[in-house]
Structure 1
Amino acid sequence: MTFDLVIRNADVATASERWQGDIGITAGRIAALGIALPAGRQEIDAGGRLVTPGGVDAHCHLDQPTSDGSKMADDFLTGTRSAACGGTTTVIPFACQMKGQSLVDAVADYHHRAEGKAAVDYAFHLIVSDPTPAVLRDELPRLVAEGCTSVKLYMTYDDMKLDDRQILDLLAAARREGVFTMIHAENADCIAWLADALVGAGLTAPRYHAHARPMLVEREATHRAIALAELADVPVLIVHVSGREAVAQIREAQGLGLKIYAETCPQYLFLTEDDLGGEGFEGAKCICSPPPRDKANQQAIWNGLDNGTFQVLSSDHAPFSMGPDGKAVAGADAPFTQVPNGIPGLETRLPLVMTHGVLAGRIDIHTFVALTSTNPARLYGLFPRKGTIAVGADADLVVWDTDLDRTVRNADLHHAVDYTPYEGQAIRAWPRITLCRGRAVWREGQYLGEAGFGRFLPCDRPQPAAVRGRGHRGPLWTA
């Protein structure tokens, strides 16, 4: 047997195993694992370096339409270029339905935006903001059949939020169709009441974004989301959990055997609310929802990664530059309520967590792989094609350098955003080589990807029952 490519002398780590050996690749898939494999037409000597599955970033926003006149800096070309350079080989952004719009039309528009641009593979989540009977009865089943098997709903943002009855209608449809549901859990009315009071008092600087979204508004909405999911008897994932109060709600539900999963993001590990207080408009760089908390809450999130409360660690990449088509769409002196929410992070997600998680001893390598690759692939119907190193899986692989001494600099990144909120963060690890389906898309500091190489991935039914963090006890849902 002659392989297209053999990676030799690899220190291979998956979500459950670690071993030394070779990886044989044929036609973009892993064909053999072993020691002293036959020659390949091409070979890479990993030199004993760590090799993990390519990252699956299951929560990122690329070229997503907005309602406030802002424009995301990253489209599918620049966003997936950035992903490849940071070790992510699959992205799952959102086909977003605006109120009054057909969900089918929203997906068709998103396919058009992605066509011919992606450098790595991609799938779509659905954002449902208008769950009419026709959408839930006719359009959702059609889109599930086409490979869109996960939906996101919002409990906040005026142009996106659903009330409790709408949430229950959507959860019931998700149960019927075997769809996995993600929930942005913040109490919209509490936020609006606080924001109006702050703006009315002239407290409009970016730092007050955090004051308008204290932990209790996330705690209450998380509790309510869990109750609605329990009533509908469906699994849900609470996205971008920021601190201990929401964590406590999730831990309690998991301890009762409820079908509750959780995701967090690097901003809750590496940023604090103090980063919103930069001089002038600088704090807008870190406006995201929920906002970063404090150092104690950072530790609570690290603890949740280690103890199994969280099943997924995503970037929530939302790429708005600082100019008039981005964060300053309403002006650089606009109140925090008019600043687009979100921060970039596709490229830095894996290196930051490898550095400050695995190499710092906060989490082990298997937890890292599970959180950043295997679990999202399972939850969203892409496993075992993605998220693992196994015979038959796509040859999505990262060969790591783990002895670096550098810092994050936006000048070195490959997104189209004019800043990174992680500027100056220490980095000891970065992908040396990223392979997507056996093809090098990043190697030793050089981007080698090609627009259009990335493929749309129709997702199978989700596999949440296969994802068992140490925080889970009791029966879990099976699609």
Structure 2
Amino acid sequence: MQNFDLTIHNGRIVTDVDEFNGDIGIRAGKIAAIAPSLPQGTRHIDATGRLVMPGGIDSHCHIEQLSSMGVMCADDWYSASVSAAFGGNTTIVPFAAQHRGDSLKDIAERYAASAAAKSVIDYSYHLIITDPTPQTLDHELPALIRAGITSFKVFMTYDKMKLDDKQLLDVFAVAAREGALPMVHAENNDVIAWIARHLLAAGYTAPKYHAVAHDPNAEDEATQRAIRLASVLEVPVMIVHVSTQGGAQAVHAARAVGAPVFGETCPHYLLLTADDLDLPSTEGAKFCCSPPPRDPASQEALWQSLQSGGLTLLSSDHAPYRYDETGKIPYGDKTTFKQMANGMPGLETRMPLLFSEGVGKGRIDLQQFVALTSANHARMYGMYPRKGALAEGSDADIAIWDPHKTVRIAWQDLHDAVGYTPYEGREVRGWPTTVISRGEVIVDGGKLDAERGRGSFIARGQPGPLAEPREPSPRAAFLRKIFPDTQAGA
């Protein structure tokens, strides 16, 4: 007879490739057995009528991060990780953000120390590269990649963060050489700045004009350019928070010819539109993010891309800024759309929203739900099968869902520190009721049982099967070869 620390009985087990009735036995934080019937463990959970799925992985969220405008996120590692756990997540991967003049090494060390002291669930983090100096590219970035931080984000917009095309090629070359995955915020900065300048000069300052300034063409052009630049070196690339039909089509077209191009979208692009920014005074600031929500045609295109596999990740892009002078409206009701902190909260609601609007309305099936919220994230960012899987030997990171539980979303019932949710009053069907992290029940019956700092850092490997590197062409191989002899950042 096998002795288990915890058993889950009579559940409907769902992975990204399968679905069946069975039991799960857990020992020493790992899944030890999956079978039609197992003996009870020291602790026993009856999951009759419930779905037993891998814990969610949110690989795009902003936590305890200073923005380029000097605004600190409302959520620190503790409040964010608690909120994530209540939303069915067992791993989060936010960003250690370099600002110009910063040592990437120092930023990463401070960020890791804060996570280790506060996070209640497992974590890793990406890097944000804004200052690609020789010290950054030749020394600090390669060392961090080799230490398990195998992905980093770059920006094509925001004056204080954007890289030009030569700098993008420099960081893509490091990624190619070191086996890392670049993530790109693709918007044309000059287009946005030009429109914004004329809007402000004409007196159009309300939040709704944020969506006007961030014209869809700015995203579509930058997405195509990012893909082309990555293709110079044939390096895998992730286009984050795709919001437009054109952006989704660009990712799909690249994938259709075998290019290692991947795309992510977020719940707010599936469920909100630019009309949500058109509210009295500065209320619309609550819905300002970059890129902004678009229109119904874009929503439909994104749903179709998720269904077809053109877009492979659904992340929250949780960017938690309070609706007050410390965040969204630094100048009160005089704040213009260019002065508002960009971003919306969504860490806790990401999975319930997709379950209700996707699975519940027949847009995706359960296997796609698991892929989009967990398994694909683990594969893409070098954590599979330790994370994102229900298999013997995997970490026992499990979310047990009541597919029939109806919840009317209200910020007062959530666990972040932001003060509002863009989904206030929206009713969803399906919610995680029990969350298990490395074999420990950390959320059950609406209560948290997890101490600050119990989360573990996950050192990540190279991008997995979804982003498996191909042999470069002779042309790209030659360019990769000569890069180490060039002056980075020149």
Q: CA deviation at 1:460?
A: 1.2
CA contact (8 A) 1:69 1:325 kept: no
SS of equivalent to 2:401 = strand
Q: Which runs of 5+ in 2 are unaligned?
A: 473-490
Identity %, equivalent residues:
49
Q: Match for residue 233 of structure 2?
A: 232
TM normalised by structure 1 equals: 0.96
Aligned with 1:66: secondary structure?
A: coil
1:477 to 452, 470, 477: 470
2:32 maps to 31
Q: 1: CA distance between counterparts of 2:101 and 2:72? A: 21
Within 2, Cα distance between the matches of 1:48 and 1:332? 49
CA displacement at 1:404 relative to structure 2: 2.3
Q: Give the AA of the match of 1:265.
A: C
Q: What's the CA shift string for 1:102-155, capped at 9, x where partnerless?
A: 110110121232231101110010100011122111111211122111010000
TM-superposed deviation, 1:467: 2.1
Which is worse superposed, 192-201 or 66-75? 66-75
Residues 330 and 108 of structure 1: is their aligned pair in 2 closer, same or farther, counting only changes over 3 Å?
A: farther
Q: Aligned pair 1:467/2:466, yes or no?
A: yes
Q: Which runs of 5+ in 1 are unaligned?
A: 469-474
What is aligned with 1:471? Answer: none
Partners of 1:461 and 1:253 lie apart in 2 by: 21
**Deviation string for 1:300-345 (max 9, x for gaps)?**
1111110111111100000001111111124332110010100000
Q: Secondary structure at the match of 2:182?
A: strand
Query: Would you say the 8 A contact 1:258–1:476 is kept in 2?
Result: no
Would the aligned equivalents of 1:236 and 1:260 in 2 still touch at CA under 8 Å? Answer: yes
CA distance in 2, matches of 1:477, 1:238: 19
For the 8 Å contact 1:289–1:341, the answer to whether it is kept is yes
Give the C-alpha shift of residue 478 in structure 1: 7.5
Partner of 1:429: helix, strand, or coil? strand
The residue that corresponds to 1:450 in the other structure is 451
**One-letter amino acid matched to 1:163:** D
User: Which AA in structure 1 matches 2:351?
Assistant: L
Whether the 8 Å CA contact 2:407–2:431 is kept in 1: the answer is no
Contact map agreement 1:243 1:297 (CA 8 A) in 2: yes
Alignment of structure 1 residues 189-208 onto 2, 5 Å: 189-208=190-209
Residue 35 of structure 1 deviates from its aligned partner by 2.0
Partner residue in 1 for 2:475 = none
Paired with 2:405 and 2:244, the residues of 1 have a C-alpha distance of: 30
Partner in structure 1 of residue 361 of structure 2: 360
Q: CA deviation at 1:67?
A: 3.6
Q: Given the superposition, is the C-alpha separation of residues 67 and 330 from structure 1 closer, same or farther in structure 2, using an over 3 Å criterion?
A: farther
SS of match in other structure, 1:3: coil
Quote the residue 1:58 is aligned against. Answer: 59
The Cα offsets for residues 259-288 of structure 1, whole Å up to 9 and x where unpaired, read as 110000001011110111111111000100
In the TM superposition, what are the counterparts of 1:324-403 in structure 2 within 5 Å?
324-403=325-404
2:477 — aligned with what?
none
Partners of 1:467 and 1:146 in 2: CA distance: 21
For 2:469 and 2:460, locate their aligned partners in 1 and report how far apart those are by CA, in whole Å: 20
Q: 2:116·2:456 contact (CA, 8 Å) conserved in 1?
A: no
Task: Using the TM superposition, give the Cα deviation of residue 476 of structure 1 relative to its aligned residue in structure 2, in angstroms.
Answer: 5.9
Aligned mates of 2:385, 2:32 — CA distance in 1: 14
Quote the Cα distance in structure 2 between the aligned partners of 1:350 and 1:248: 24
Query: Within 2, Cα distance between the matches of 1:36 and 1:67?
Result: 54
Deviations 1:166-215 (A, max 9, x none): 00000001100000110000000110000000011110000000000111
Quote the offset at 1:432 in angstroms. 1.0
The 2-side partners of 1:23 and 1:341 are apart by 42
The residue aligned with 2:114 is 113
Are 1:168 and 2:169 counterparts? yes
Task: Please give the alpha-carbon distance, in whole angstroms, between the structure 1 residues aligned to 2:3 and 2:360.
Answer: 36
Tell me, yes or no, if the aligned pair for 2:269 and 2:294 is still in contact at 8 Å.
yes
User: Given the alignment of the two structures, is residue 20 of structure 1 paired with residue 21 of structure 2, yes or no?
Assistant: yes
Q: Is 1:122 matched with 2:123?
A: yes
Structure 2: distance between partners of 1:429 and 1:214: 35
- Report the secondary structure of 1:299's partner residue: helix
Q: Secondary structure at the match of 2:222?
A: helix
Alignment partners' CA distance in 2, 1:292 and 1:141: 35
Secondary structure at the aligned position of 2:12 is classed as strand
Task: Report if the CA contact (8 A) 2:273-2:294 is conserved.
Answer: yes
Deviations 1:18-73 (A, max 9, x none): 11110000011100000221220000000131111000000000000234232211
TM-score (normalised: structure 2): 0.94
Work out whether residues 398 and 434 of structure 1, in 8 Å CA contact, stay in contact via their aligned partners in 2.
yes
Q: Given the alignment of the two structures, is residue 415 of structure 1 paired with residue 416 of structure 2, yes or no?
A: yes
Q: Deviations over 1:63-115 (max 9, x none)?
A: 00234232211000000000000001100000111111111011012123223
Q: C-alpha distance in 2, partners of 1:137/1:232?
A: 18
Give the number of aligned pairs: 471
SS for the counterpart of 2:305 is helix
Q: Whole-Å Cα distance in 1 between the matches of residues 357 and 380 of structure 2? A: 25
Distance in 2 (CA, whole Å) between partners of 1:82 and 1:99 is 31
Equivalent position of 2:279 in the other structure: 278
Secondary structure in structure 2 of the residue aligned to 1:77:
helix
One-letter amino acid of the structure 2 residue matched with residue 170 of structure 1: V
Asked if 1:97 corresponds to 2:98, the answer is yes
